[in-house]
Amino acid sequence: MKPCTLEHLHQLFPDSTIVGDPGCRFDGFTIDSRKIEMGNLFIALMTDRDDGHNYLAQAQSGGAACALVSRLPENSERWTQSGFSFLVVKDTLSALSQMASTWRKRFNGPVIAVTGSSGKTTVCRMIATCGDDVNSTRGNFNNHIGLPISLLSSNHDAAFSVFELGMSGFGEIAALGRILQPTIGVITNIGTAHIGLLGSREGIMQAKLELAASARTLIVDGDDPALLAAARHTTRTVIATGFGAHNDVRMKDFFSVEGGEYLAQVVLPGALEAAAFYVPFAQEFQQKNLLLAAAALHAVGIPYAQMFHGWRQFQPAPLRWEVHHIAGNVWIFDCYNANPDSMKQAVAELLKLPAPRIAILGEMRELGNFSDAKHREVARSAHGLDFVVTYGEGAQVMATELGAKAIHCTSYTEIVAACAQFHGATFLVKGSRANQLERILPLIAASNNT
């Protein structure tokens, strides 16, 4: 963002009070006192876990020029005498959202919002890859705190913007949509992530469709009849994507070519012939993500050439189908996160790969009373595998369901030991973020160097 003063910020909040120099300039901001850059505004957020006001001294010593607070520190006169200033508001979180909404109004290009049960980050990345000057979500900042931070870190003159919207309950997507005011809304899919919090797949779909209140156009998985029907009932303009012939954006053909690439032939609205894209992946769920990204980019007028160049160079985010070749084995780490649907999709893709096929499956969170049933459902999808290792308390039921072809482990070293018997194998590592299953990677490498 361009340099700003506390006086400028004060104009957004009539009830706020400046303590110190109204002309105090700042040229960026942070909510993390450990990541202060010289001249930043530090925003002291109060959350259920912590209170940013406890870190004001650390922010000042790190180079912050001023702070947005809801209460002043003790002896604030000493702070202002040293050149540090404050803007005092009623609620710093509400102020953060208002700042982001105001900044969003300055954007010149189209804005794409992406939500869904899985694939959000990958679709965002596919979209962002197709432009040189693109605003996108910072890391995994996709909630009521993260989205405003991503927005305020963005350039309002960017060619286009794409932001990820996450949620765990009703009303959250609607609130994020009011801040973002997207031109296009993308719903990747409706699965059973967060079913323990929302009660049913229908509840999850209702929560995701809150995006229709702010987006002018919705792009959805048209191969899901329930989602497509609900989207068309909710909003006027819907673009359906998928493999079925009824979809507006669909996969005409997909096949491997020389050099380890794959050729996707995609039908786009209004095009006389299918658009051809070279991509470095083959998984069916990635093909679905590609179609969603293609629909969004086509809808905002991004030329074919930009998509062609971007996707040929595309690299998934870390821990999303990340492939490692170690001592004659292939290890696929797809363990950034997991829910019942993405687990079954990953297992289905593993079943297409060379045997022996082994899955290391971690527990899935936020399933509530559905936990055992959903873990058993995943286990049943894995019956065709040669061996399964489970990890995490909730995952033990999968090992029980699979019987003799599975083992439950309680440590990373146990997992590595259980896998040591296999050679020339294909391994899939999949589990929720809390499992941190990527931690077995250095152990695998070390065990093969001894």
The domain that holds 241 is classified in CATH as 3.40.1190.10
Virtual torsion, Cα 69, 166, 427, 286, nearest 10 deg: -130
The domain that holds 14 is classified in CATH as 3.40.1390.10
pLDDT in tens, 31-40: 999 999 999 9
Shared domain for 265 and 134, answered yes or no, is yes
Spatial distance between the Cα atoms of 449 and 383, rounded to a whole number of angstroms: 32
Any residues with CB less than 8 A from the CB of 165 and at least 6 apart, and which?
A: 113, 114, 115, 120, 142, 147, 173, 176, 177, 180, 211
Say if residue 255's pLDDT is above 70: yes
The domain that holds 392 is classified in CATH as 3.90.190.20
pLDDT in tens, 214-224: 998 999 999 99
Using the 3D structure, point to which of 90, 121, 140 is the last residue of a domain: 90
The proportion of the chain whose per-residue pLDDT surpasses 70, expressed as a percent, equals 99
| 317 belongs to a structural domain | no
What is residue 1's predicted lDDT score, i.e. its pLDDT?
Answer: 54
Using the 3D structure, point to which of 28, 63, 90 is the last residue of a domain: 90
| 129 belongs to a structural domain | yes
pLDDT tier at 381, thresholds 50, 70, 90: very high
pLDDT in tens, 313-365: 998 889 999 999 999 999 999 999 999 999 999 999 999 999 999 999 999 99
What is residue 450's predicted lDDT score, i.e. its pLDDT?
Answer: 57
CA distances from 86 to 41, 106, 152, 346 (A): 9, 25, 19, 50
Shared domain for 284 and 163, answered yes or no, is yes
Spatial distance between the Cα atoms of 378 and 335, rounded to a whole number of angstroms: 15
Shared domain for 307 and 365, answered yes or no, is no
Spatial distance between the Cα atoms of 202 and 332, rounded to a whole number of angstroms: 32
Shared domain for 259 and 373, answered yes or no, is no
DSSP 8-state class, residue 317: P
Q: Which helix (H) or strand (E) holds 196?
A: helix 195-198
Spatial distance between the Cα atoms of 252 and 266, rounded to a whole number of angstroms: 6
Shared domain for 150 and 195, answered yes or no, is yes
Shared domain for 153 and 83, answered yes or no, is no
Residue 321 backbone dihedrals phi, psi, to 5 degrees: 50, 50
Residue pair 360/415 in contact by the 8 Å Cβ criterion:
yes
What is residue 444's predicted lDDT score, i.e. its pLDDT?
Answer: 95
Number of separate domains in the chain: 3
Shared domain for 124 and 271, answered yes or no, is yes
224-227 contact pairs (CB < 8 A, 24+): 224/189, 224/190, 226/190, 226/202, 227/187, 227/189, 227/190
DSSP 8-state class, residue 89: -
Which residue is it, tokens 């593993």? Answer: 350
Spatial distance between the Cα atoms of 177 and 327, rounded to a whole number of angstroms: 48
Q: For strand 41-43 and strand 111-115, is the pairing parallel, antiparallel, or unpaired?
A: unpaired
Spatial distance between the Cα atoms of 121 and 342, rounded to a whole number of angstroms: 13
Shared domain for 435 and 334, answered yes or no, is yes
Shared domain for 252 and 336, answered yes or no, is no
> How much is the average pLDDT of 94-123?
95
Shared domain for 419 and 395, answered yes or no, is yes
Residue pair 207/173 in contact by the 8 Å Cβ criterion:
yes
Shared domain for 384 and 417, answered yes or no, is yes
Say if residue 3's pLDDT is above 70: no
Using the 3D structure, point to which of 90, 119, 134 is the last residue of a domain: 90
Side chain identity at 257, as an amino acid letter?
V
| 197 belongs to a structural domain | yes
Residue 110 structural domain? 98-312
SS percent in the chain: helix, strand, coil, step 5: 40, 20, 40
Say if residue 69's pLDDT is above 80: yes
